[in-house]
Every structure is written in structure tokens, then in C-alpha cells.
Structure 1
Amino acid sequence: MMFGDPTDVAIEAMTEPHLVAPSAVWGRMCLHIGDVVLGDFSDSHCSLYGAYCEFKELLDIPRPLWDESFDGLSHEQIHDLVRNAIYGDDERSMEAILADLQRYRNFDFLTNWGEQFDGFASVIIQEDDQTTTIMHRPHSAWANQSPPGPFVVAICSTIGFRNACSGLIEWFDSEAARLTPTEGRTKR
């Protein structure tokens, strides 16, 4: 299933065809932003729940998704600021680390969202109400492995991003209900 418009932004997802109740929602997923694809759709039997929760949470974050510390920085500088604030190994106190985590966690994107996003270290921002920007650098660049992959900037419409997230969430909820045993469902 494709949720959204891949020429702008879309989330591609599917459950594994053999799944029957009772089961978690296992499948495949990736994100299309124009010509950029983030995620490995060929990786089968991935847990989709973590990504579902993160996309759902993104819909609840106040807009625009921006921090004043980004003012005047390039996309790569913003990416590095967020990644270092959350994952940097430095001399900050525990109090400073926790404060940075709280401040920048909403900008961390795709990290640990499921096996389909292994190797993706992305940052998401919204410089205004109309535009969502995703900046990506492979994990290898952070682990000092060579050669690091190229830095990628993918830009889409915020309304398109929100529509893709909403479509995925609706689909996931339907799949989770389908894969829940009848006796496990609550009556309404």
C-alpha cells in the first residue's frame, strides 16, 4: 500500500501476506520523498509497530517543528546539532544530556523505528507551515566507518507528510484489528 503521493511524500507499507490472527503487524515499510527512498522495503518480517507509533506521535507535535537554535544554520549543521545533542559522546553533565534529549528528541527521525530503517540516522524539521525537510546521513558516518554515505536533504509538503502519516495510521489500525483474535477485541 502507498499512503500519499511518492512524487511529494508517501509511506509504502505492507503486512506479510501469510499473517493470520493472532499476530502482531509484521511487514515492510519505507518512505518515498520524490526520488529519495529511506528504508529497506525488501527487508521482510519487520515490526511495523515502532514506526507506526512514531509517525502517529509526529502528528501530535505542535507546528512548525523548529527550534530557535537552528536559526542561521545549514541543513547539515542542523542535522549534526540534533544528532550530537542526542547521541554525542562528550563531557556534558547528565543534566545537560537529559535537557538536550528533551529539547531535540522530536527532530530525531527513523532512528530505531524498526529493522526496515536500520542504518538510517535522520532529522526532521519544518522551517515553515508548508514545508517538511528530512536530512539523512547513514549511521556509518557516526560510527567512524568508511566510506560514509552521502548527506541527503529531502523536502516535501507538510500537508502531504501529514496525509501520508494519517493514511499509514488508519491502515495500521485496520491491520492490527484484523490480526487481533475475535475474543481479544473489545465490544463497542
Structure 2
Amino acid sequence: MTFGNPDEFAIEAYHEPAQPGLVGFGRMAIHFSSTIIGKLSEEHCGLGGGAETFRALHSSLSTLWDASFAELSATEIFAIIDRALYIDVGQSDIAVRKDADRYARFDFLTNAGEQFDGFKTFIAAEPQGEVRIFFQDPDGVLGSARCSMAAFQSASCAFVAWYDAQCSVGSNVFQQSVQADGPASGGSAA
């Protein structure tokens, strides 16, 4: 299933239960412009980490900006978040906690499942309403992309509703949102 428009922002996911009663596993990647983050060839990955990330972003996306990002390039923003969360430069324990408190909310799909192994991803939402995704691929290449907040939210809500249905979680805000928006903002079979 593909949720959203891959030319702007989409989540591609397939449910692959390994055995009866074992749900929430499959393949997953995100698409934006001509970039794909994740390994669709990696089978039976946990989809829950990604689903929970998108679920949490539903209510927090509009708060994902920091004054330290003003006037910086995508590479510079990536470096700030990466240093704060993943690079030991000899800072004190207090500084590590302070950085984590300030920047952890920008961590995106890093360590969210085997399909994202080797990728480091961060997310921010500019005050004017664009979502920015910053990433480093398994080869160490840095990149970034932008999409509208509406495109991100629509794809995210549709994916989480689909994931919940696959896992028989039941009704939630995402399913209600997809039903209210109708099939145009939902997903389409891939």
C-alpha cells in the first residue's frame, strides 16, 4: 500500500505476518520527491516503531522548529541535531541531557525498525508550514527534502489507520481523520 503521493510525501508499507497471531511486521519506506528512505527489500521488519513515530507526530508536528535552525542550510541543521543526539564531543552529562531535552523531538525514523538500519533521519516543521526531512543514507550521503504539512499529515494518518487495522487495534483519531478526509487523502493500492 502506498499512502500519499510519492512525488511529494508518501509512506509505502506491506503487512507480512510471520505466523498466525503475529502482526505488525512487514516492509516499509518513505518517499519524497525522487528519494526513498528505508529498504523495501528488507522483509518482516517491525512496523510498530514507524507507526508510533507517525502517531506521535500527528499532534506535535507544528511544534518542530528551533530558533537555532534559523537561516541555516539543511546540512547545518542536520549537523546540529546529529551532534546533539548522536556524537560524543566530550560534553558533560548535564550538557548531554540538555541537548537531548532540546533536540530529541527532531529524531525521526532512526532506529525505528530494520528497514531503516543505516539511515539517520531527522524532521522539522518550518514556521511557514513546510515539513523538512534531513537524512544520512547508509553510504554516508546527506540529503534533505520538503513537503507540505498537509501532505505529510494525510499520508501519516492514512498509514497509522492502516497499521492499526492490520493489528486490529481499533478506532482512533487517525482512522477518524482518514474517514473524514475521504479516500483521496487516504491510500491507494501499490
Fold shared, TM-score > 0.5 on shorter chain: yes
Aligned partners of 1:6 and 1:33 also within 8 Å: yes
1:64 CA displacement: 4.3
1:24 CA displacement: 2.6
Distance in 2, Cα, partners of 1:99 & 1:54: 22
1:114 CA displacement: 0.2
Distance in 2, Cα, partners of 1:120 & 1:86: 14
Is 1:155 the counterpart of 2:154 in the alignment? no
Q: Which amino acid aligns with 1:41?
A: L
Moved more, 67-76 or 167-176: 67-76
Distance in 2, Cα, partners of 1:92 & 1:110: 25
Q: Which amino acid aligns with 1:134?
A: I
- Where does residue 35 of structure 2 map in the other structure? 36
Aligned partners of 1:63 and 1:129 also within 8 Å: no
Deviation above 3 Å: which 4+ runs of structure 1?
A: 18-21
Question: Which SS does the other structure have where 1:177 is aligned?
Answer: coil
- Where does residue 109 of structure 1 map in the other structure? 108
1:91 CA displacement: 1.9
Q: Tell me the C-alpha RMSD between the 2 structures.
A: 1.6
Distance in 2, Cα, partners of 1:90 & 1:67: 21
**Between the two proteins, what is the percent identity of the paired residues?**
36
Question: Which SS does the other structure have where 1:22 is aligned?
Answer: coil
The two structures have a TM-score, normalised by structure 2, of 0.83
Q: Mapping of 1:81-120 within 5 angstroms?
A: 81-120=80-119
Aligned partners of 2:18 and 2:44 also within 8 Å: no
Distance in 1, Cα, partners of 2:86 & 2:52: 21
**What's the CA shift string for 1:131-158, capped at 9, x where partnerless?**
111111135xxxxxxxx53221111111
- Where does residue 57 of structure 1 map in the other structure? 56
Distance in 2, Cα, partners of 1:25 & 1:123: 23
Question: Which SS does the other structure have where 2:167 is aligned?
Answer: helix
Distance in 2, Cα, partners of 1:55 & 1:125: 13
- Unaligned 5+ runs, structure 1: 140-147, 179-188
Question: Which SS does the other structure have where 1:105 is aligned?
Answer: helix
**What's the CA shift string for 1:70-127, capped at 9, x where partnerless?**
1122110110100100111122111111111111011112110000001111121112
Distance in 1, Cα, partners of 2:57 & 2:20: 29
- Where does residue 179 of structure 2 map in the other structure? none
- Where does residue 2 of structure 1 map in the other structure? 2
Q: Which amino acid aligns with 1:14?
A: Y
Indicate the structure (1 or 2) with the bigger Cα radius of gyration.
Answer: 1
Aligned partners of 1:56 and 1:169 also within 8 Å: yes
The number of residue pairs the alignment matches comes to: 169
Q: Which amino acid aligns with 1:53?
A: E
Question: Which SS does the other structure have where 1:28 is aligned?
Answer: strand
The two structures have a TM-score, normalised by structure 1, of 0.84
Q: Which amino acid aligns with 2:6?
A: P
- Unaligned 5+ runs, structure 2: 170-190
